[in-house]
Structure 1
Amino acid sequence: MTTYIATDPQFDFAPRPGRVLQRELDAAGISQAQLAARTGLSTKHINLVIKGTAALSPDVAVTLEQILGTPAETWLHLEAERQVHEARKERSEVLEGYVSWANSFPRQLLIDRKVINESDAGTSLVAKLLSFFSVASPSAYAKTWLEPQASYKRSQVHSIDADLTALWLRLSELRAAELIEAAPVYDPAKLKAAADLLPKLTMSDDVGHAFAEAQELLLAAGVVLVFVPEISNTRISGVSRWKNGTPIIAVTIRYKTLDGLWFTILHEIAHVLLHPKRSTFVDDGFKADDDADEQETAANEFAQDHLIPPTYRAQLVATKTVIGIISLAEELGISPALVAGQWAFRTNTWGGSIAKLRKKIDPAELPA
């Protein structure tokens, strides 16, 4: 009896069961005709198995075990390895036809986002991309990632790159995967309570730590919050969507401002609370023109009310000085950057001394 080691898929060959069988027969001094007589199979079938034309079935494997002593599992494993090897060869030929599709994605971006390695090219690149998007072909990619974008709610009218949007959405999905496993059942009441607490977190000088606290608050409510750096030509500041019954909120810092980040988080929380499970919302930020979209208007108002309660709106708009903005921020218990951002929005004044209070943040400050 001989023991055989399974083929490593990295090698471009696999031991054919028939070849191994012939070696066993030669070692035992048994001809194909004699094996046929002993097994009750036809000589033709034995010959086809040895040539690899016919598959080595479980019945034949058990019979060979009885006659030659080699475990049936060994024969079946060799047969499975051969079939997988042949399937991989056929698949590689198919992938050759997808190379131009894979090359249409920005290569350096894929490397920077660790989707592929620098050495990936040709069919290796294709295989990596298909695996990343969890699809079998470019047509499956289009149905899974591009066609649904037509139904996404977007709070802006600029043209966007659908492939790069799909890339960013997939990155956010993968970023959220581990947190989804740890998330309890979604609780709207807890999410509302978390939204009430978020403005206080803006007072922290450490935006990364404050974001982590926000993640914990939302996760306790069954909502996953992640940060994924922006990809050019997607115009995404945030997204809210549902995955396996769990709401996911993913944000960028498109405007690279503290107020933009926290407004986006609150805006996406509003979508989860107000428009549950109905749509995927891909948002541009609070500077977008949302007047024609009631759902976006409602989400904007939710975020605005949590940052500057309606009773303070007149005071906010009437404020003309930096000191006034800082004083109002202290009264509200939030960062002056958030008050300055809302002041800029309400007065449509995006420059000047007050606008300088809108603290800039760097992607490196947030957990990626």
Structure 2
Amino acid sequence: MTSTYFPTEHNVDWATAPGSVLQRELDARGISQAQLAARSGLSTKHINLVIKGHAAISADVAVTLEQVLEVPAETWLRIEAKHQAHHARLARDLTLDHLAEWVSEFPMTDLVERSIVARDDTIATIAKKLLRFFGVASPAAFTKTWLEPQASYKRAQKFTIDRYAIAVWLRLSEVEATKVVATAPQYDPRALEAAVKPIANATIKPLLAAFEEAQRILLSAGVALVYVPEIKATRINGVSRWVQGHPTIALTSRYRYLDVFWFTLMHEIGHVLLHPKRGTYVDYTGKADDDADSQEAAANTFAESALLPREYRAQVASATTAETIIQIAASVGVDPGIIAGQHGHLAGKWNGPIGRLRVRGDLEDAARVTN
């Protein structure tokens, strides 16, 4: 028996009820509901309920229709499933209009600038896009997944931060990391430890070139390094976390000083090496009292040693001229601004000729100029 109506699946309008598709098929074949009932062994009442959309096409009914109409059971079931999913989405969308208060918590300017939402989107559309962006089904699920873990983030308590903005930044960093880890080998802590010195030596290069080299070196150790521009009120310098089984480090250009940028990277590498089972994210602002947190203090010590070996610390602390700092930087093999930053930390002096060695820069600006 050949169908004269049945559409190919890619032309099926999933908003159309499966029963309507069945009725059109019967009309095309000149078969009445009563005749279908007689041929199928199904009751006329049940067929009428299916056609009117009051009863779903079950697996048994689909197999029966396959036998009688020679339309595969899988086709009927896909039409039924997709039709139900379509209407479930419509029903869910009706609830999204009531999420205006939740939507208002997010940094809308940043969401628009980063193409997460559009400026002229309705509240319902924004809510739908946000839920999809964060990979959650509801605001309650968003809170549990993205806000509650922030209680254990490390940050300077004197700063006011926006938890929703932090969630956006963390998700953006996760998205970027997912692109990188797709080609990453298995994480190798020994390779990561060996990567520290080459990364420190790369700091003498222009910022973008140095960052890309650090990315390549870390990726060979199974670690993803990404850059995500800061979102206002997050006050994040860097975060280390695990994404798809790989350690991931995400950085911003907060403070715009390259010594802070490279110190943050080494700080997060320290966390990955020293605290591999740590499940929290770290917000290193550069001004927090990290001594109150043993893991933060350990990561700071690691970063200091990675950029300035201990045998040079006394000499750096007592330095009085920029020339001395430049000479020490050449001996260590890092950018002089990094040593100048360590001098400021050790001696408490951030101005003058030595302070002017600290270079300001923004990775986003560097990439824009290069491109």
Shorter-chain TM-score tier: over 0.9
Counterpart of 1:109 in structure 2 is 110
Q: Report the RMSD for the aligned CA atoms in angstroms.
A: 2.1
Structure 1 residues 268 and 277: alpha-carbon distance in aligned structure 2, compared to 1, 3 A threshold: same
What percentage of aligned pairs have identical amino acids?
A: 53
Summarize the alignment of residues 320-335 of structure 1 with structure 2, pairs less than 5 Å apart: 320-335=320-335
Count of residues in correspondence between the two structures: 365
What corresponds to 1:276 in structure 2? 276
Whether contact under 8 Å (1:6, 1:81) holds in the other structure is no
**Cα distance between partner residues in 2 of 1:50 and 1:264:** 64
Compared CA separation, residues 58 and 324, structure 1 to 2 (3 A): same
CA contact (8 A) 2:177 2:243 kept: no
Q: Which residue of 2 aligns with 1:300?
A: 300
Q: CA deviation at 1:224?
A: 1.1
Structure 1: which 5+ residue stretches go unaligned? none
Give the whole-Å Cα distance in 1 for the aligned partners of 2:22 and 2:6.
12
Equivalent position of 1:255 in the other structure: 255
Match of 2:35 in 1: 34
Distance, in Å, in 2 between the alignment partners of 1:74 and 1:301 is 63
Following superposition, the deviation at residue 216 of structure 1 comes to 1.1
CA contact (8 A) 2:318 2:347 kept: no
Higher deviation after alignment, 76-85 or 246-255: 76-85
Q: Which amino acid aligns with 2:6?
A: T
* Residues 274-283 or 337-346, more deviating: 274-283
1:355 deviates by: 1.1
Aligned-residue offset at 1:289 = 1.9
Q: Helix, strand or coil for the counterpart of 2:215?
A: helix
Distance 1:192 1:96, change over 3 A: same
Judged with a 3 Å threshold, the aligned counterparts in structure 2 of structure 1 residues 275 and 27 are, in CA distance, closer, same or farther, namely closer
Q: Does 1:229 align with 2:210?
A: no
Asked if 1:4 corresponds to 2:7, the answer is yes
In the TM superposition, residue 366 of structure 1 has moved relative to its aligned partner by: 5.4
Shift in Å, 1:135: 0.3
Whole-angstrom CA distance in 1 between matches of 2:169 and 2:51: 50
Note closer, same or farther for the CA distance 1:69–1:279 as it changes in structure 2 (3 Å cut). closer
Q: Is the CA contact (8 Å cut-off) linking 1:155 and 1:296 kept in structure 2?
A: no
Read off the aligned partner of 1:127 and give its amino acid letter.
Answer: K
Aligned residue for 1:239? 239
Which runs of no fewer than 5 residues in structure 2 stay unpaired?
A: none
Q: Is the 8 A contact 2:107 2:164 kept in 1?
A: no
Match of 2:90 in 1: 89
Deviates more, 1:275-284 or 1:174-183: 275-284
Q: 3-state DSSP class of the match of 2:247?
A: strand
Preserved CA contact (<8 Å) 2:6 2:25: no
**Which residue identity lines up with residue 310 of structure 1 in the other structure?**
R
- What pairs with 1:2-151 in structure 2 (closer than 5 Å)? 2-6=5-9, 14-151=15-152
Q: TM-score, normalised by structure 2?
A: 0.92
1:176/1:248 contact within 8 Å kept:
yes
2-side partners of 1:20 and 1:317: how far apart? 81
Assess if the C-alpha contact under 8 Å between 2:259 and 2:359 holds in 1: yes
Is the aligned partner of 1:337 residue 2:337?
yes
Q: Which moved more, 1:277-286 or 1:117-126?
A: 277-286
CA deviation after TM superposition for structure 1 residue 158, in Å: 2.5
Q: Secondary structure at the match of 1:185?
A: coil
Q: TM-score, normalised by structure 1?
A: 0.92
Name the counterpart of 2:310.
310
State the 1:193 CA deviation. Answer: 1.0
The whole-number CA distance in structure 1 between the counterparts of 2:27 and 2:46 is 18
Deviation (angstroms), 1:304:
1.1
Read off the aligned partner of 1:362 and give its amino acid letter: D
SS at match of 1:140: helix
Taking a change above 3 Å as real, the CA distance of residues 330 and 74 of structure 1, as seen in their structure-2 partners, is closer
Name 2:208's counterpart in structure 1.
Answer: 208
SS in 1 for 2:20: helix
What is the letter of the counterpart of residue 349 of structure 1? Answer: K
Relative to structure 1, is the Cα distance of residues 286 and 214 closer, same or farther in structure 2, using a 3 angstrom cutoff?
same
Compute the displacement of 1:367 (Å).
5.7
The 3 A distance-change label for structure 1 pair 14 and 314 is: same
Contact 1:190 1:221 in 2 (8 A): yes
- Partner SS for 2:170: helix
Asked whether the equivalents of residues 235 and 254 of structure 2 are also in contact (C-alpha less than 8 Å), the reply is yes
